[in-house]
Structures are given as structure tokens and as C-alpha cells.
């Protein structure tokens, strides 16, 4: 009788090894495919803390004349997304460089790659602090090599919807208090913040607003933070990412843009809503493909966050505001000042 072939122990061991490698490449294990956007294994974040090395591999530091002035997000091997106000028209692009894979800004690491800026594409609508269109694309002088510490974040498609209350993460190297720099070696900071609806954010920003300076949260803006203040993005990293988790991936929901207070009550952080500019991004750089975000639960009304102030109009205020930008983002308290420190 012929011997029936079977699965010997060595063969089974080989199959198991192949399956495990496949799981790791799909992000289930500790290793993630380096070309997969928005995938990085990590635990839950609470409060404002120092990030672990490689925890936010899309975070970049934008330097002007060698000084950190803004944050940004890597979205491909040659393109970074940041805020338009980080690039005043009187600055030359050769004065900028981008540091990728950095964790502690004051220490050199072999994990870090530095590139010059070959091109800056600011949105045509951007005109002044707090205006619409506070978004810019940066083309690096040469492509970067993805690694555990350098990886792109996913760009959300135009129809993306992030519900109120979703816990997202804002990151940066900014000040820890008004005019108080992040202490050496300046490790990357992270803060969990809940999303707030545009209507409620408008209501909050009109509480004790200065006469003649109505605050308008426009259609291309997103708010996140705490009504009672104390934790917020601050002077330090405008242009940096507001990263939101959906179905195992991180999406660039917002770009740090502006605010008129830092950690003050009723003044959540204001971000550029990235999905509004999905078509613009793809039109300017065809290789950048915004991705459909998996459907999430519908947003629940959050008007109760401003219910104590029913005398205030929660509708968008008329006119434009003159906000103070959150240029480098310091996850802390205090009043904001215009950003560029150099």
C-alpha cells in the first residue's frame, strides 16, 4: 500500500513562520509594512506626555535658518503637508529644511533624515492669519527612505467624517508655557483631544469675545480640545498633525492652524480640516491619493458644551477674526503669540 503523504512537523513549522510574517506585515504584530500609511502599533494615550521614539513617524520638524518653526506631516516619500502661514512670502524656500524621523530635537540620531525644500505650494485662498486655506504642500529636495521611524500618514478623502467626541492626538515640539521652551533634549510631545463640532466651537469662541473681533470657525476648520481649558496645543507647532484613529489606521484629520488662547477655557484649538482640501491636494500632486475613511458612528449633538451660555449666538459670526497662530505647538497653557521665533 502506498504511504499517504502528510504534513510533517517541519512543514507545519515553515507554514506557521510564513503566516506570522504575513501578520506582522499587515500591522497585527510589532512590525508594519513601511509603505502602509497611518499604521503604527501603539498603546492608548492619556493626557499630555512625551511620545515614544517612532510613535508618530509622520511627524516632521520644519526649520528656518536652522531653527524649528513649524511641524508638518509626511504624506508620501517626497511630500509633506503643513500650514500656509508657516511660509511667509518674504522667506526663501532655500532657507528651509525638513527633519524627518526625529524624536529629541537636540540630539542627533541615525534614524533621522534631513531634506531641503524644493517647492512650497500654498493654497490660493490663504491671505492672512486665521483665513481659509491655511494649508501648504512641501516637496522635499529628494525622496526619503521609509523606516520604522519615518512613515506617511493617511490623507482622508473629501467625504470623510470624523464624529464629535472622537479622541485624536495632536503632537509637536512647542513651548510648555508662555515663552518657556520645551526643555532639552526637546522630546516630541503628544496630547489626546476630543473633536468639537463647528457650531459648538463658534459658540465657545463668542464667549467673552472682544468687541469688533468676532471669531469665525469657517467651513474648512475643525476644533478639538477641552471646554475647561488646561490642555491644548500652544506656541510651538503650527502645521503639525491632528491624527485620528479609524479602523486600525491613523488619518490626518487636521493641521494645527490658530487660536486666540492656549489652554484657556472656551477656546479649543482650531485646525485646518484636511478632507476639505482632498481634491486640491490630488490636483496639485497627482500621486497623492486621499483615502476613503471607513464609516464611523454618526456625530451626536454636543451643544451642551456651550449650554451655559445660551445668550450667545452659536451661529458663525460675521466678519473675520484676527487670531493668534499656534506656530510651534506646545501642549500646555498660556497665551498664544505669533509663531516664528527666529
CA distances from 339 to 7, 127, 268, 321, 331 (A): 65, 16, 18, 17, 14
Which of 73, 103, 134, 175 does the annotation list as catalytic? 134
pLDDT value of position 30: 38
Helices (H), 136-290: 198-205, 278-284
Give residue 2's pLDDT: 39
From the list 61, 68, 73, 85, the catalytic residue is: 85
Domains along the sequence of the chain with CATH: 49-288 (2.40.10.10)
- CA angle (41 as vertex; 108, 153 as ends), nearest 5: 70
Do β-strands 249-259 and 269-273 pair in parallel, antiparallel, or remain unpaired?
Answer: antiparallel
- Residue pair 339/235 in contact (Cβ under 8 Å)? The answer is yes
Give SS3 for 67: strand
In 3D space, the residue among 146, 155, 140, 134 whose CA is nearest the CA of residue 75 turns out to be: 155
Q: Which of 238, 257, 275, 314 is catalytic?
A: 238
The cell for 108 is 542627533
Identify whether 134 is a catalytic site residue: yes
Helices (DSSP H) in the chain: which residue ranges? 9-25, 198-205, 278-284
Nearest to 81 by CA among 114, 57, 59, 111: 59
Tell how strand 249-259 and strand 324-325 pair up: antiparallel
So what's the pLDDT on residue 225? 92
Q: Under DSSP, is residue 84 helix (H, G, I), strand (E, B) or coil?
A: helix
In order along the chain (342 residues), what is the average pLDDT of each group of 10 residues? 43 42 37 74 65 96 95 98 96 97 94 98 93 97 97 97 95 77 91 94 89 80 87 75 96 91 81 98 97 88 79 39 47 38 40
Per-residue model confidence (pLDDT) at position 77: 98
Specify whether the CB–CB gap between 268 and 335 falls below 8 A: no
For position 174, what pLDDT does the model report?
80
The beta-strand segments (E) located in 179-240 are 189-196, 221-224
CA 261/CA 305 separation, integer angstroms: 18
d(CA 254, CA 249): 15
| Cα three-residue angle 223-228-231, rounded to 5 degrees | 65
Q: Specify the pLDDT at position 31.
A: 43
Q: How far apart are alpha carbons 331 and 255 in whole angstroms?
A: 15
pLDDT at 286: 97
Closest to 112 measured CA to CA, from 34, 29, 152, 53: 53
pLDDT at position 311: 47
- Map residue 20 onto helix, strand or coil: helix
Query: What is the pLDDT, as a whole number, of residue 338?
Result: 36
Amino acid at each position: 500500500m502506498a504511504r499517504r503523504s502528510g504534513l510533517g512537523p517541519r512543514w507545519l513549522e515553515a507554514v506557521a513562520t510564513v503566516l506570522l510574517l504575513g501578520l506582522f506585515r499587515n500591522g497585527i504584530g510589532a512590525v508594519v509594512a513601511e509603505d502602509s500609511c497611518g499604521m503604527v502599533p501603539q498603546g492608548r494615550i492619556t493626557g499630555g506626555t512625551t511620545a515614544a521614539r517612532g510613535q508618530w513617524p509622520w511627524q516632521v520638524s520644519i526649520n528656518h535658518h536652522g531653527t524649528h518653526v513649524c511641524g508638518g506631516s509626511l504624506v508620501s516619500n517626497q511630500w509633506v503637508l503643513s500650514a500656509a502661514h508657516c511660509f511667509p512670502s518674504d522667506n526663501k524656500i532655500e532657507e528651509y529644511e525638513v527633519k524627518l524621523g526625529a524624536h529629541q530635537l537636540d540630539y542627533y540620531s541615525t534614524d533621522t533624515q534631513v531634506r531641503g525644500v524644493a517647492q512650497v505650494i500654498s493654497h490660493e485662498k490663504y491671505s492672512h492669519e486665521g483665513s481659509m486655506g491655511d494649508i501648504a504642500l512641501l516637496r522635499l529636495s529628494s525622496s526619503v527612505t521609509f523606516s520604522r521611524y519615518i512613515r506617511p500618514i493617511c490623507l482622508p478623502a473629501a467625504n470623510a467624517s470624523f464624529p464629535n467626541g472622537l479622541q485624536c492626538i495632536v503632537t509637536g515640539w512647542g513651548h510648555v508655557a508662555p515663552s518657556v521652551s520645551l526643555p532639552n533634549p526637546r522630546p516630541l510631545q503628544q496630547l489626546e483631544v476630543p473633536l468639537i463640532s463647528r457650531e459648538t466651537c463658534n459658540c465657545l469662541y463668542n464667549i467673552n469675545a472682544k468687541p469688533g473681533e468676532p471669531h469665525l470657525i469657517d467651513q474648512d476648520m475643525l476644533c478639538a480640545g477641552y471646554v475647561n481649558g488646561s490642555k491644548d496645543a500652544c506656541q510651538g507647532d503650527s502645521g503639525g498633525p491632528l491624527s485620528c484613529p479609524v479602523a486600525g489606521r491613523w488619518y490626518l484629520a487636521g493641521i494645527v492652524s490658530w487660536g486666540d488662547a492656549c489652554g484657556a477655557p472656551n477656546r479649543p484649538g482650531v485646525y485646518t480640516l484636511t478632507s476639505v482640501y482632498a481634491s486640491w491636494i490630488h490636483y496639485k500632486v497627482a500621486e497623492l491619493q486621499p483615502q476613503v475613511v471607513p464609516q464611523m458612528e454618526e456625530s451626536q449633538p454636543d451643544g451642551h458644551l456651550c449650554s451655559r451660555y445660551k445668550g450667545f449666538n452659536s451661529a458663525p459670526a460675521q466678519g473675520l477674526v484676527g487670531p493668534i497662530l499656534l506656530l510651534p505647538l506646545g501642549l500646555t497653557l498660556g497665551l498664544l503669540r505669533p509663531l516664528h521665533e527666529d
